[in-house]
Amino acid sequence: MRRNEHEKYRINLIINVIAVLLFLLIPLTGSSYHVILISKIMTFAMLAVSLDLMWGYTGIFSFGHSAFFGLGAYSLGLLLKYTDSAGLTYLGLALSVLAPMVIALALGYFVFYGKVSGVYFGLITLAFTSILQQLFITLLKYTGGDNGLYGFPYPELRFPGGLALPLENVYILYYFVLVSLIVFYLISRAIVNSSFGRVMRGIKDNEGRMEFFGYSVPFCKLVVFAISAGMAGYAGALFVPAGFVSPSIFSLLLSTQILVWVAVGGRGTLIGGVVGAFLLNYLEAFLSSSFVNVWLLLISVILISSVLFWPQGIMGFLKEKYGTAFLG
């Protein structure tokens, strides 16, 4: 039995190393279109991991993650645009984590401490996302409205000693996003494996019991929500150099897609979100350019059927079958 565990651990380690090496090597082979596409998908994967912390582990269902993603993107983009200085990239990245966190704390304080059911939270975040999107479209003067954000200096990573890495270079961007994704994943894994992670799972299974044990369920939910929103905001900031920032990234469509990535990949596995994001975004890159309506229809069919017939998702299925999720 022990030997078996040990072997599993080794197989996991090998798969992890191979996966990371593969990602390190991708830019050498692909075209720059491909490199940008994968960078973009990796920011989405970070978003999916942040949602999984909330949804898969704590059982809080949110339609609001595209809103935090958008807030992060606009925090960095607007700062660069109005100060016109690429040197403020670090400040912008910090802001892109803090702004969504503060808003999540405010929103979460009211809703979690009201102790209403999780369904309410889902609906409040749904309304929050759609209204925030309209607000950003209306604030035309500052945000560029539907035309999106442009005319800002490209973010740069400056190091002591005068070294500056412009994220305009797709390869630098790619490796920066990759490192961020890996660090995020490891942080999330550490959170999930900590004693707080056990509290999160406890809340998912039975809120009332956790209250009896003396945990403040609203407080724990608030902490998870704030962490998750901050991560989503950072992913949004990385989207600024990788994609195009317009109010459409606030959309409920994006929020739905995040849910679909996590649901298809497997809830409560962390890596499932990454797998789901890659799978569906690749599919979308092939299909949606010619059939937008059909693609959306397909998304909804995938969503419904994954809920009805396959709630554990790809990675959940593998976890069930082999005892541990690969890449875990």
Partner 1 sequence: MIEQSQVIVQVLNGISLSMILVLISLSLMIIFGLMGIINLAHGEMFMVGAYTVVAVNQFVVHSFWIGVLAAPIVVGALGLVMERSLIKRLYKRPLETLLATWGASIALRQIVKLIMGSGHKMVLSPTRGAIHLFAGVEYPAYRLMIMGITIIILASIFLFLFKTNIGLQCRTVISNRSMASALGINTAFCDSFVFALGAAVAGIAGAIMSPLITVNPEMGLSFLARSFFVVILGGLGSLFGVLGGAGIIGGTEAFFSYFISPVIAQVIVLLLAIVVIRLKPNGLFGGL
The residues that touch partner 1, with contacts defined as CB under 8 A, are 59, 61, 107, 109-111, 113-120, 122-124, 126-128, 130-131, 134-135, 138, 252, 256, 259, 263, 293-294, 296-297, 299-301, 303-304, 307-308, 311
Q: What are phi and psi of 116, to 5 degrees?
A: -95, 170
CB of 43 to partner 1, least distance (A): 23
Task: Choose between 4 and 293: whose C-beta lies nearer to partner 1.
Answer: 293
CB of 159 to partner 1, least distance (A): 41
Asked if residue 228 lies in contact with residue 53, where contact means CB atoms within 8 angstroms, the answer is yes
Task: Choose between 64 and 92: whose C-beta lies nearer to partner 1.
Answer: 64
Task: Choose between 14 and 127: whose C-beta lies nearer to partner 1.
Answer: 127
Secondary structure tally for the chain: helices H, strands E:
15, 2
Residue 48 exposed, middle or buried by CB count within 10 Å (0-12, 13-18, 19+): buried
Task: Choose between 20 and 307: whose C-beta lies nearer to partner 1.
Answer: 307
Task: Choose between 18 and 294: whose C-beta lies nearer to partner 1.
Answer: 294
CB of 297 to partner 1, least distance (A): 4
Task: Choose between 67 and 232: whose C-beta lies nearer to partner 1.
Answer: 67
CB of 244 to partner 1, least distance (A): 21
CB of 203 to partner 1, least distance (A): 13
Number of Cβ atoms within 10 Å of the Cβ of 119: 9
Q: Which residues contact 99 (CB under 8 A, 6 or more apart)?
A: 71, 72, 75, 233
Among residues 239, 202, 242, which one has the least CA distance to residue 224?
202
Please report, for residues 118, 313, 326, the alpha-carbon distance to residue 218 in angstroms, rounded to integers and kept in the order given: 12, 28, 32
Q: Which residues contact 165 (CB under 8 A, 6 or more apart)?
A: 156, 157, 158, 159, 172, 176
CB of 118 to partner 1, least distance (A): 6
